[in-house]
Structure 1
Amino acid sequence: MLLLWVPVLAFGHGGENHGQAAEPTAAVSYFSAEASSGKYELLLKHGPLAPGRPATLTLYISDYETNAPVDSAALQVSVAGYPNLVIKASKIEPGIFQLRGIFPDTKDYSLMVSLNSKAGPDLLQVSSVKVGTALPGAVLEQPENGAMTGSWLFGVGGVVAGVLLTLLVRRRPKPGLAVSVLVLAAFLPVTSFQKVQAHEGHAAQATAMAASGSFRMEKETQFLYSVLTQRVTSGDFEETVALFGTVLGAPEGMAAIQSPQSGKLRALQVRPGERVAKGQVLALVEQQINAEEQISLEAERNLVEAEYAAAKVHYERLQRIADIAAQKDLSEAKARFQAAEKNRILYQHNRGSAGAKLVQVTSPIAGVVAPFSYTAGTFVSAGETLFQVTSLEKVYVEAQLPAMDELKLQQVTDYYLTHPSGSGASYGLRLLSAAQTVHTENQSRRLVFEVLNPKGELKIGENLRVHAVLPAASGRISVPREAVIQVGGKEAVFVKDNAETVRLRHILKGQDNGRETVILIGLEEGERLIVSSVYQVKTIYLNR
C-alpha cells in the first residue's frame, strides 16, 4: 500500500540490457563506407552533405594484404548511374585522396573507383554515400528540471492540509468528515512524477565491441603509426634449440701495438675511438741517443749532405753542356743525383732536429683504436704496449650446448643468432669447433662460431642467443615474434577485421625459434595480423 503513495510514470521498450552498466558511446562525427578486394582496401569518409551543393569527401586507399598506404595510383572516380556527375580526385598525402563533386538529390549514392597501382588495376564500388542525411545524435532523454518543483508544491500542500484537518477535528468533531479527509490525504502524492524513457540500439554496438575485444582505430592513426599487417598462413616452421653465447674477438681482428724501441713519443696522430686503416701511422717515437751516437749521426748526416751537393753540381754542369756531353755521362749523373736526393729525404724524415732517429708506429690491421692515456712527450720503453686496435668485421661466438641437447646436435641443419637489442637483425654462423671442450661448472659443451659483423653491431663480451635449426615441421601457423604481446598477463595478438576495426585475440603459443612463434590456438588462416607498431596499437586498446 505504501508504494501506491509514490506514483511513477514509466515507458519502456526492448533492445537494451538494463542489468549491466551502459557502455559510453562516442559521438559520431562522420559517415563512412568501405570496400575491399584482394588487392586494395578503400575507406570513404564524409560529413553531412547537402544536395545541390559542393561536397568534399576523403578517400583512404591501402594495400589489402599489408595495410600500407598506396603512395601513387592512377585514380578515376565516377557515380554509379550518373555518368554526367563529375568527381575530381586529388592526392593529399600517401594513401589519402580528396574527392570533390556535387550530388543533386537527397539519397544514397554509390561511387565506382577505378585505380591502378603497384598491386595492379582494380575496380571497386563504394556504396552508401549519404546525401541530405543528418548525422545520428544522442536520443536519451534526461529527467525534466520541473520534477523538484512539483515535489516541493506537493509537500507544502500536504502540510497545509494537515493543519486545516487538525482545526476541523478540534472545533467540530465529525468522525465521518475526518475519516474522509484522512483517506483523501493518504492518496495525494507528495513526490514528483518521474518520466522515464528507454530507447533501443544506443549502446548495442559499443557493448558488442567491448564483449568481443574489438575497438575502433581510425585510418589516419594507422597511417601515422605505420600499422602494417600480413595474412595468416600455415606452412613449414623451423624448430630451433636456443644456446647461450658470448661474443669474443677474432685473433685476426685484434692487435696490440708496442713501441719498437725506447724513446720519446714525438707525435700522436690518432685519437681514441678513431677508425684507422691498415698501415696507417699512429705515432712517431724519437730514439734516445748518447754523445758517441750523436757524433756518429752528425758524420752520417754530413756524408748524406755532401753526396747530395756533389751529385747536384755534377748533374747541373752536364745539363749546361748537354749538346756536347756524352749521353751516357748525362744519364749516370741524373741517376746519381736522384739517388742522393732520395737518401737525403729519407734521412731527414727518420731523424729529428738533433739527428735522432724517428720510428713510425703503424697499425697492422684496420679497425678502431681503443682508449689510451699517452700524450706527446711521454717516454716509453721498448716493448711497451701503446695502442690496441680492434676490428669487429669478424668476431667469434662461443656457445654452450647443454648435455641434454647433445643428441639434437646431430640433426642441426643450420645456425644463426639474433641481435640482443631486439632489432630483428640476424647473422649467419660458421661452426669452427664442435664441442671439443666442456665447462667445468655446468658440463655444457663449447661450440665456437665465426660471425661476419660488417656493421659492428655485435660487441666483444656481449651475451646473446644462438639458434640451432632442426628439420622443419609442416602445417604450422607461425607469426613474427614482434606481433605477440601481453595484455593483462596473457599472450595476445591484434587482428584487423575491416578498415577501422581492430580485434584483440588471446592466443596459446607454441615453439619459438627466435624469429617466429607458433600459434596453437587463437588464429585462423586468412586473417590479417598486425605485425608492426603493435605497442602503439596496444596503447590505443588500453585507453579506448
Structure 2
Amino acid sequence: MNAKKILLVVLLTGALGAGGYGLYSFGMQQGMKMTPSDSPAKTGQQAANGTSEASKVDPASGRKVLYWHDPMVPGQKFDKPGKSPFMDMQLVPVYAGEAGDDGKITISPRVQQNLGVRTAEVIKGNVAAVVEAVGSVAYNERDVAVIQARSNGFVERLYVRAPLDPVRKGQPLVQIYVPDWIAAQEDYLTVKQMQGPETKDLLDAARQRMRLVGMSDEQIRLVETTAKLQPRMTIIAPISGVIAELSVREGMTVMSGGSLFRINGLSTIWVNADVPENLSAQVRPGAAVQARTPSLPGTTLKGKVSAILPEVNSATRTLKARVELANPEGRLVPGMFATINFTPATKQEVLTIPTEAVIQTGKRSVVMVAQDNGGFTPVDVEIGAEANGQTEIRKGLEEGQKVVVSGQFLIDSEASLKGTETRMGDAPQGGTSRTSNNQTHAGRGKIESISNDEITISHGPIPSLQWGEMTMGFKAPASGVPKTIAVGDTVTFEIRPIKDGAYEIATISPAGTAPGAAKSNTGGAASQSQEAPRSAGGAKK
C-alpha cells in the first residue's frame, strides 16, 4: 500500500514538472515572437517616428533614462522597459550622460576608485631621447705614419724588434748602409776642395746629387760640417705610438720606396659604435658623447662623433658611428669594448604626457581624456619621440587637459558594456561603419509590419547567426521597400550586419522566389515582379 502511494506521488510530481516546463517553453516562444509593437519596448527609430515620450525618469533613482537596450545587442534601442526580444533577460536602462553618440563615458567616482583610475596633466617639456650604443676601440686611422726607404741599402742595425712595440717621437728605428751615398758625397767633398769662381755652381750640382740619392738636408749639412763621408742613414720615429707593421730585419736588403714601418698614434682613438637604424637620425657628426669601458671602471671619457658611416649592416640593421676619444695616457687600446651615450640635440618645448597613458592599437595611438564632470572620451593622438617615461604629443591634445594613465583598459571595458559607439580598439574613421563584414545570412519568415525604413519579420531559425525563432525589425533595403511584398506575406530574405549590432535587409522576395531575385524587385524591374504569380507559400493572409 505504501509503495502504491509513493509511486502515485512520483507520477504526479513528474506530470507537474512536465507541465511547468511546457508552460515555460510556450511563454518563451511567445515572447520571442512578440513584435516591438506588441511588447512594452519599441526601437529608438520607431519611437522617433511615432512616440512623443522622449525620455523617462527612473522612479528608483530619479535619473533621466534616455532609452533601454539589450547589452548583448547594444545597437537596438527601446523607449520602454520590458523583456528583451533577443535574449531571456530584462532590458537595461541607459541614463543621460552615460553614453552618447560622441563616445563619451561617464563613470561614478566610486567605480573610478574601484578601477584604480589615475590621471595626469598634459604639460610642455623637452623630450630628450638618450641613445646608447656599444662599440669596440680601434686605431685612429688619421693618426698614422708610414716610413719607407728613400734609397737602396742594407739593414745594419734594427732598434725596434717586434710589432706593437711602443715608440716615442724622435726615437731611432733602424740604421741602413747606403752605397749610393758614398759616390755622391765624394763628388761633393772633391768639388769643395777646389778653388775658383766656377766652383760655386759645381758645389750646388753636387749638393743636388746628394738630394737625388735620398739624403735629407740635415744629413747634407752633416757632410758639409764634418767633411767626412756619411754612408749610413739612421731613421727616427716621426710620431709617438706603437709599431703596427714591421717589414724589415737586420741584414735585409731594402729597395727605394719599400715600406719599413707603420706607426699608429695613440693620442686619440676611435670607437666604432653600432647604432640601431631607427635611432640613427638622432645621431649627428660633431655631437658630444660620453664613453665608459669595463677596463676603466668609474671613468667617463668625453669625445665627439667623427662620422656616420654610410652603410647598414643587413644582419643587425645598425649603422657604424665613428666616435673619436682623447687617450692621453694610452689606456684605451684596440679591441676594448666601450658603451657610448650620445647627447641628443636640444629640442624645443613640446606637449608631453606619461608614456603609460598611450594605448597602441596597431596603426593608431589612443588616450582616454578625463572630463570635468567625471566623463572620459577616447581621443586619437599623433605621438613623437619617447624618453624617460614621457611621450611627445604632436596632435590631438592641448596643454592642461588630463589623460588617464592607469585603468584606461578597464574604462574601455566599462564603455563596451554600456554600448559605447566609439571603441578604442576599432573606432570608426570618417563616420564609416565599424563592421566591414559583407557576409549575408538567409532566413524565412512572415512580415508583421512595414514602415518607411524598417521591416518587422517573425522569422524562423537562422543557423549562420545561431538565432532561434524571433520577431525583430530590420533596416529596409537601400533602394526602399519592394512593392511586391505586404504585411502578412511569407518571404525569404537575406540580411547583412551594419553598425551598432543592427542588420539591414540585402534582398527580400515572396516565399518560393530565390532571395537573389529580389535585386530585380528593388531595382528598376518592379513591374515584372508584380506580374509574377505568388506561390501558395507566399499568398497574402
Is TM more than 0.5 here? no
Q: Which has the larger radius of gyration?
A: 2
- Give me the TM-score of the superposition, normalised by structure 2: 0.31
